[in-house]
Amino acid sequence: MDHPRASVFSAPASLRRLSASATASRMRESLSEMSASTRFQRIQRKFSIANFTERGLLTAQGSSMANDIGRVRELMFKRKLPVRSFTAIGQKREVLEDRLVEEEEEEEDASSLSVDKTENKEEVERVASAFFDNLLEPRKLQGEYIIAEADSILMFAPFSNRKQGISGHLFVTNFKISFVTADKSSYPDGDNNRSAQRNKLIDNTDIPLTNVDAIYQVATGARRKKLVPGSAVTTPTKHLEIHCKDFQTHVFGFKFTSKEQNRQVTNAVMVYSFPAKDDLLFAYEFGHKSQQEGEAPQPEFYERDHWERELERLQCQSMWRVADVNIGYSVSTSLPEYFVTPIKLLNTDLEKAAAQFTDNRIPTWSYTYVNGASLVRMSQIMQESAFKWCEEKILSAVRQSSGNDKELLILDLSRMCPSLLDVRTSVERLKSIIMTDSAKDFYSSDSRWFNNLENSQWLQQVSSCLNTANHVVNQLMRESQTVVLKEESGCDFTALISSLVQLQLDPEFRTISGFQSLLQREWVVMGHPFQRRLHLVWSQNVAETEQAPIFLLFLDCVWQLLQQFPSSFAFTETYLTSLWDSVHLGLFDTFLFNSCWHRKKFLIEGPNRTFISLPSAWDWTFHLSDEQILLFNNPLYTLRTSFDLDKVVHSARNTLRLSGEELRESRYSMLLGSPPPSTDMFALQETVLKPEVTASLIKLWAQCFLRWIVPAQIVGGGNPSQYMQQCILAEEVICLQHKLQQVSQLVQQQASERNPEQRDGNNSGHLQVRLRAPRPQSGLVFGATGYQSTSKQLSSLYITSSFPFSPGVSQHTQHTLICGPLSRYLKETEIDHDYNQDTDD
């Protein structure tokens, strides 16, 4: 039977007792003998599924839930239903319904049944006690366990001035902070008893501990203060604000929580969000429990042959070689075991020169353009070094490997790019204007938005990096001049500028696999210190000046390129945002360490060399569904690279021109003038991308920075709406082109059948024509190949400018929207046509 969604009504602070239904009178007598009042209070407190009002008073669910509990208890009394059949209200509902049907049928002959009241009373007490004590728990991964928990926690709805939200349980595990509620109506899919999943690893109400950026406490009668890592919390918490590195803010209320749980949960959040050592990260436990199998999606550049294949692809293996001088990290713990150096430098030369550079990071190769000009990155030579000749000798070998006699262009990025402190300060200022859960604060800041955004200097830094990359591209391409990127550490802005330059020069790196290969080589393997820059491990020995999201700055620069050249990249902005989110999950060996040496030390531990297995971030199927991965594909890139649309448009234009040429010349020549020049619809752009860096064209990456700001979301529009329409257009183009090919084949077949001489020689061809080839797959989520199989969860989401990262809409916020869910939106845009039937028409 279908139970209607429970209604919500106001209740006093001491929650109203749930009344049993009239059909549960016999059960009510049994429960009165087993301290029913106490058990009622416990279930009300543990399974509070209510909204709370302006006064902070809980409101319990009404008669529907009471009827459910009453019938459950009566059923337990009559049928001795096993505890394993249900764990909470709403779970295993089909089992309960079957039992209730049997009960109704047998009630007609109840007089013939004889029940031993003593045995039933003991059974009811045992089963009911186990049922009430079985609390809701979060989903746990291998190696994950609960550290602390608290019930009657209030999770405030964003921008509700802390007057709306839901009540539930707050858990702190060694992996995440998880809020779980029994209020099914607060979930997008009311038939499920779980929150909507953000991905396979976490739900929308989960916060990975490595994603916590700052914690603020509001005590009773006290002002809001920031909690310092390493300190203990002694005062009771009224509100706990958790600011995340993905720019989301979570606020929890502890008004109805006991003092002991209040203290335990608050301190657990503080301790486990800022681990002092990397072996205290959850990845350590997960790596021991989980065994990852399978090959890497693309070369990881941990082996020699990966570098050699890249040199062969760029046809520069005669001038550069793969050096193995750092085997065992004997020369530098900041560099990988294999890297590329000029072919004229011997290993002995590298060993002598390494000590003269910061962190022993000698100059290393990054890229060679088709004209022979190369891109090299290096750290600064030590100021106290007396061996300046080492730098001169290495740079001389670099010049000889360039294939020309031109002098090297050495760019000091410390003068051309912002410093780590500048980036950190800029991000903090940006957070101050976008990270809020108060509508009042948001609208107050909104009136000064452009001024505050300019003062943050974030867009200026993005423009500066793009401008520097443009300068390097011009020198490599036009001047055929080898460029050496130089900075103090050699692992921050050298990686950023080098990656941007290669993106602009080489179309291979604009595919998803090529882009990931670029990041793996220039960022991961070449030793960008992700753990220090992103503050994954808190240590008093690490200065705050070393914390700066350089990788986020790079992703923002890539997003700017994507906006200016939307058909040149195989991936979308959703891919870039998902990439930024995966950095903070704290599970992937890709973004967890400071260098290859650090990674190897973590994964192979102890005298017995125990191996720890962690997944790669490039294996997207590990934490994302197939539908979510489809959102990475760019329909404009698909149209541009997979189909010759220019030929189709040119053919159609010629046909129209021939048919209307006489009409144009005779009657409309004075009005229409001469025919317009032939222009291609998707004319191939230059292989090299040259973005504009003026202030008017540099925009804020809204999907990444503003996706959690509800007042800033465009309901029913924004980039996701454009993306969806592009996918639909691409799907229709694929369908029409496939039909044209079939029509062409049919015409050829009919022509050959009319020609007796060709008929006998083309029998095999006729058979191939009759066997229609399947239509090409688009790989787009909103196309016929994707949407037809999408899940109920995806179909129930609402289109906003934050799609697909905005959480599903609950009944508490649905009234604020003016559009239907995604499924209705798709129907209104004519996507309900079944393209899969086209091959059979």
The DSSP annotation for 184-251 comes to GGGSSSTTSSSPPBSSSS-BTTEEEGGGEEEEEEEETTS--EEPPTTPPP-SPEEEEEEEETTS-EEE
User: Is 283 part of a structural domain of the chain?
Assistant: no
pLDDT at 578 over 90: yes
Q: Are residues 642 and 620 located together in one domain of the fold?
A: no
Which amino acid is it at 394?
A: I
| Whole-angstrom distance, CA of residue 368 vs CA of residue 486 | 17
Between 123 and 157, whose confidence is greater? Answer: 157
Question: What one-character DSSP code corresponds to residue 789?
Answer: T
Q: Are residues 74 and 122 located together in one domain of the fold?
A: yes
The mean pLDDT value for 88-97 works out to 43
Render pLDDT for 463-491 as a digit per residue (tens, 0 to 9): 999 999 999 999 999 999 999 999 999 99
Render pLDDT for 315-362 as a digit per residue (tens, 0 to 9): 999 999 999 999 999 999 999 999 999 999 999 999 989 988 999 999
Which structure tokens are listed for 210? Answer: 């490595």
Q: DSSP for 419-432?
A: -HHHHHHHHHHHHH
CB count in 10 Å sphere of residue 428:
11
The number of helices, as runs of H, and strands, as runs of E, in the chain is: 32, 16
User: Is 667 part of a structural domain of the chain?
Assistant: no
Q: Where are the alpha helices (DSSP H) in 172-303?
A: 259-273, 282-289
**How many domains, in total, are found in the chain?**
4
pLDDT at 15: 31
Q: Are residues 612 and 630 located together in one domain of the fold?
A: no
| Whole-angstrom distance, CA of residue 104 vs CA of residue 731 | 53
Full residue range of the structural domain in which residue 247 is found: 146-274
pLDDT at 196: 59
pLDDT at 120: 61
Q: Are residues 335 and 443 located together in one domain of the fold?
A: yes
pLDDT bin (cut points 50, 70, 90) of residue 587 is very high
User: Is 671 part of a structural domain of the chain?
Assistant: no
Q: Are residues 87 and 190 located together in one domain of the fold?
A: no
| Whole-angstrom distance, CA of residue 183 vs CA of residue 50 | 7
Render pLDDT for 275-324 as a digit per residue (tens, 0 to 9): 988 889 999 999 888 777 656 667 789 999 999 999 999 999 999 999 99
Residues 6+ away with beta carbon under 8 Å from 759: 752, 753
CB count in 10 Å sphere of residue 224:
10
pTM for the model: 0.79
CB count in 10 Å sphere of residue 63:
15
Q: Phi, psi at residue 579, to the nearest 5°?
A: -65, -40
| Whole-angstrom distance, CA of residue 399 vs CA of residue 549 | 33
| Whole-angstrom distance, CA of residue 272 vs CA of residue 251 | 18
pLDDT bin (cut points 50, 70, 90) of residue 3 is very low
Which amino acid is it at 755?
A: N
Between 177 and 109, whose confidence is greater? Answer: 177
pLDDT at 528 over 50: yes
User: Is 488 part of a structural domain of the chain?
Assistant: yes
CB count in 10 Å sphere of residue 176:
27
Residues 6+ away with beta carbon under 8 Å from 425: 457
Q: Are residues 172 and 255 located together in one domain of the fold?
A: yes
Render pLDDT for 596-623 as a digit per residue (tens, 0 to 9): 999 999 988 655 566 888 999 999 999 9
Q: In this structure, what CATH number is given to the domain that contains residue 260? A: 2.30.29.30
Q: Is the peptide bond before 804 cis (omega within 30 degrees of 0)?
A: yes
pLDDT at 713: 86
Helix H or strand E segment including 569? none
User: Is 687 part of a structural domain of the chain?
Assistant: no
| Whole-angstrom distance, CA of residue 381 vs CA of residue 102 | 84
Render pLDDT for 183-231 as a digit per residue (tens, 0 to 9): 655 544 444 444 556 889 998 899 999 999 999 999 887 788 999 888 8
Q: Are residues 629 and 606 located together in one domain of the fold?
A: no
Domain end (from 133, 168, 203): 133
pLDDT at 840 over 80: no
Residues 6+ away with beta carbon under 8 Å from 661: none
| Whole-angstrom distance, CA of residue 541 vs CA of residue 561 | 37
| Whole-angstrom distance, CA of residue 183 vs CA of residue 196 | 13
Mean pLDDT of the chain: 77
User: Is 666 part of a structural domain of the chain?
Assistant: no
Do residues 364 and 339 lie in contact, with contact meaning Cβ atoms separated by under 8 Å?
yes
User: Is 394 part of a structural domain of the chain?
Assistant: yes
Rg of the chain over all Cα atoms, to the nearest angstrom: 32
Strands (E), 523-649: 604-605, 610-611
User: Is 2 part of a structural domain of the chain?
Assistant: no
Q: Are residues 706 and 565 located together in one domain of the fold?
A: no
pLDDT at 99: 55
Domain end (from 103, 133, 163): 133
Render pLDDT for 758-784 as a digit per residue (tens, 0 to 9): 555 555 444 444 455 676 777 887 654
Strands (E), 541-643: 604-605, 610-611
| Whole-angstrom distance, CA of residue 715 vs CA of residue 790 | 22
> How do 374-379 and 483-487 pair as beta strands?
parallel
Q: Are residues 536 and 472 located together in one domain of the fold?
A: yes
| Whole-angstrom distance, CA of residue 133 vs CA of residue 88 | 10
Range among 492-501, 785-794, 811-820 rated most confident: 492-501
pLDDT at 33 over 50: no
Side by side, the strands of the sheet bearing 249-253 are 206-208, 176-180, 165-173, 146-156, 249-253, 237-244, 212-219, 225-226
Do residues 380 and 361 lie in contact, with contact meaning Cβ atoms separated by under 8 Å?
no
pLDDT at 214: 94
Q: Are residues 33 and 89 located together in one domain of the fold?
A: yes
Closest alpha carbon to 488 in 399, 420, 431: 420
Render pLDDT for 410-463 as a digit per residue (tens, 0 to 9): 999 999 999 999 999 999 999 999 998 888 888 888 889 999 999 999 999 999
Q: How distant is the alpha carbon of residue 737 from its chain centre? A: 34
Domain end (from 133, 154, 184): 133
Q: Phi, psi at residue 38, to the nearest 5°?
A: -65, -40
Do residues 331 and 463 lie in contact, with contact meaning Cβ atoms separated by under 8 Å?
no
Do residues 646 and 682 lie in contact, with contact meaning Cβ atoms separated by under 8 Å?
yes
Q: Are residues 644 and 585 located together in one domain of the fold?
A: no
| Whole-angstrom distance, CA of residue 25 vs CA of residue 81 | 18
Q: Are residues 721 and 837 located together in one domain of the fold?
A: yes
CB count in 10 Å sphere of residue 291:
10
Do residues 664 and 672 lie in contact, with contact meaning Cβ atoms separated by under 8 Å?
yes
Between 333 and 30, whose confidence is greater? Answer: 333
Do residues 710 and 678 lie in contact, with contact meaning Cβ atoms separated by under 8 Å?
no
CA distances from 629 to 108, 572, 634, 667, 702 (A): 55, 11, 11, 55, 20
Which structure tokens are listed for 687? Answer: 């292989």
CA distances from 483 to 159, 211, 289, 363, 378 (A): 50, 37, 46, 12, 11
Q: Where are the alpha helices (DSSP H) in 209-354?
A: 259-273, 282-289, 304-313, 347-354
pLDDT at 599: 94
| Whole-angstrom distance, CA of residue 16 vs CA of residue 9 | 10
